[in-house]
Amino acid sequence: MDEVIKIIGIGLISLIIIIVVKQYKPEFAIYVSIIVGVLILYIIMDKLRGIINLLKTISSKSGINNQFLELLLKITGIAFLAEFAINLCKDSGEGAIASKIEMGSKVIIVSMSIPIISSLLEVILKLI
Amino acid sequence: MDVDLLFKIAAIGILVAVLHQVLCRAGREEQAMMTTLAGVVIVLTLVIKEISALFNTVRTLFNI
């Protein structure tokens, strides 16, 4: 429960700081927003670690082969970081860069998920 | 690695802004530009250190 309060507190404090700093030096506002993003992601990192360990134990018990779960975790990691950069670029008004990052991360995700698609096709072909 | 980082950056920003104004009034525009650049570089190194730390933790977490 206290993480939520910490996150909200950091968010509001940084909002005030950004408004104050933006009048004098607009470029420092971007630095403050980057640092706040990193801080909040750090706060939720250990919770995330617990979730991922739970997923791993469940998948290893239930016998699903581990390769797909590893790939799923990689894809979520990429989406996690890409979303961080995309929203940052959008905040600072650079929509073009944000869409480039978005497109790049989508291409990488699709290229990583090719093994899954191919194994899915094999399963389907076996059924027919 | 906590909220004090936030306040440090805000402090540097305001300090650089004030120094810039003072130096401009005193007629030394080049020094004002130098202090602004110095402030930007300091904050940039700090921010890049934090971002690389974040990327490393996410990489180890999702073992990308």
Shared domain check, A56 and A11: yes
Chain B residue whose CA is closest to A73: B62
Shared domain check, A122 and A81: yes
Shared domain check, A5 and A52: yes
Range of the domain at A31: 1-62
C-alpha to C-alpha distance for B38 and B32, rounded to whole angstroms: 10
Kindly provide the ipTM of the predicted complex, given to two decimals: 0.81
List chain A residues with CB under 8 Å of B58.
41, 45, 77, 80-81
Shared domain check, A54 and A5: yes
Whether the CB of A2 is below 8 Å from some CB of chain B: the reply is: no
Per-residue tokens: A84: 């961080």
Chain B residue whose CA is closest to A42: B54
Global pTM reads 0.83
Shared domain check, A50 and A15: yes
Shared domain check, A111 and A76: yes
Per-residue tokens: B62: 């999702």
List chain A residues with CB under 8 Å of B5.
35, 39
Answer for the pair B59, B51: CB distance below 8 angstroms, yes or no. Answer: no
pLDDT in tens, B1-41: 678 888 999 899 999 999 999 999 999 899 999 999 999 99
Mean pLDDT of B42-55: 93
Shared domain check, A27 and A16: yes
Q: Are the Cβ atoms of B10 and A32 closer than 8 angstroms? A: yes
Per the document, the length of chain A is 128
Mean pLDDT of A5-28: 89
Shared domain check, A98 and A53: no
Chain A residue whose CA is closest to B44: A31
Q: What is the total count of domains within chain A?
A: 2
Q: Closest to B10 (Cβ–Cβ): which among A17, A45, A73?
A: A17
